Amino acid sequence: MLEMINIAIKTIFIENMVFAFFLGMCSYLAISKNFNAAFGLGLAVIVVELVTIPLNWFLKTYFLEPGALAWLHPSFSAVDLSFLTFLVFIATIASSVQLVEMVVERFFPALYTALGIFLPLITVNCAILGGSLFMDERDYSFGESVFFALGAGIGWFLAIVLFAAVRQKVRYSNVVKPLRGLGLAFIITALLGIAFMGFAGIKL
């Protein structure tokens, strides 16, 4: 149990999806102008990570891995479907994002409008696919992958919320003209990354 919590903490702070791997940058940069939208998108990413990573774990363990189909019939134990990994993972992600989108549209219409195109675009958020692929690459068990998903989602949420608050503050700054907007956003991300480097190297 302690190990699993460690995995979650590690993924939030030490190997943060945004600051350590620079994954999911597109929506991170685009949605962070408004704090409430960033908050909502962060929550949506947590939900999607929590749904897709365990789901993909099932698919990986029982369908895709070499010999994973042995539970159907012993003669299938030589089948290796791992070349389908990307396709299947993306399909899982796309369908779960569709579900999340329907829920958000039904229950949080304001958030739905604020997020606009970026809600369906969570499908192609690298942090989501990255999460599933890390789960695959690091051979997590089911429990580990759940906690990893939680950590990855919270880490991304924390990153975008921090960033949105900073951008809100910077709105009052007299920023150099050519850098207004995205240019400054990249620089702020770098500063946040430096701040998070303090955790790099902690062994849990």
Partner 1 sequence: MMKKLTDSLWNFLQTKVKPHFTKGGKFENLFYLYEAIETFLFLPPEVTHDKPGTHVRDGMNLKRLMIHVVFALIPAMLFGIWNIGHQHYIALGEYVGLSEGLMDKFLVGLKVFLPILIVVMAVGGTIEVLFSVIRKHPVTEGFLVTGPLIALIVPPTIPLWMVAVATAFAVTFGKEIFGGTGMNIVNTALLARAFLFFAYPAHMSGDQVWIYLGEAADRVVDGFSGATPLAVAAEGGYQALKTFSYQSYGFWDMFFGWIPGSIGETSTLAILLGAALLLHTGVADWRIMAGMLLGGIFTAFLFNMFPANEYMALPWYYHLVMGGFAFGLVFMATDPVTSASTFTGKWIYGFIIGVVALIIRVLNPAYPEGVMLAILLGNVTAPLIDHLVIKSYISRRERQVSAIVPSPKTQEPVKESSHA
Q: Rounded to whole angstroms, how far apart are CA atoms 75 and 67?
A: 10
Q: Does 179 bind partner 1 (CB under 8 A)?
A: yes
Total residues at the site for partner 1 (CB under 8 A)?
Answer: 29
To partner 1, the closest distance from the beta carbon of 68 in angstroms equals: 38
Contacting residues for 102 by C-beta, under 8 A, at least 6 apart: none
Q: Which of 32, 172, 181, 185 binds partner 1 (CB under 8 A)?
A: 172
DSSP state letter for 65: S
Q: Which of 4, 44, 122, 162 binds partner 1 (CB under 8 A)?
A: 162
Contacting residues for 32 by C-beta, under 8 A, at least 6 apart: 38, 160, 163, 164, 167, 185
Q: Does 192 bind partner 1 (CB under 8 A)?
A: yes
Angle separating helix axes 182-196 and 142-170, nearest 10 degrees:
130
Q: Which of 120, 155, 175, 181 binds partner 1 (CB under 8 A)?
A: 175
Q: CA 165, 52, 158 angle in degrees (round to 5)?
A: 15
Q: Rounded to whole angstroms, how far apart are CA atoms 62 and 47?
A: 23
To partner 1, the closest distance from the beta carbon of 41 in angstroms equals: 15
* Region near partner 1 per CB under 8 A, out of 25-33, 41-49, 133-141, 163-171: 163-171
DSSP state letter for 24: S
C-beta closer to partner 1: residue 3 or 139: 3
Q: Does 201 bind partner 1 (CB under 8 A)?
A: yes
Give the residues lining the site for partner 1 (CB under 8 A): 35, 161-162, 165-166, 168-170, 172-176, 179, 184, 187-188, 191-192, 194-203
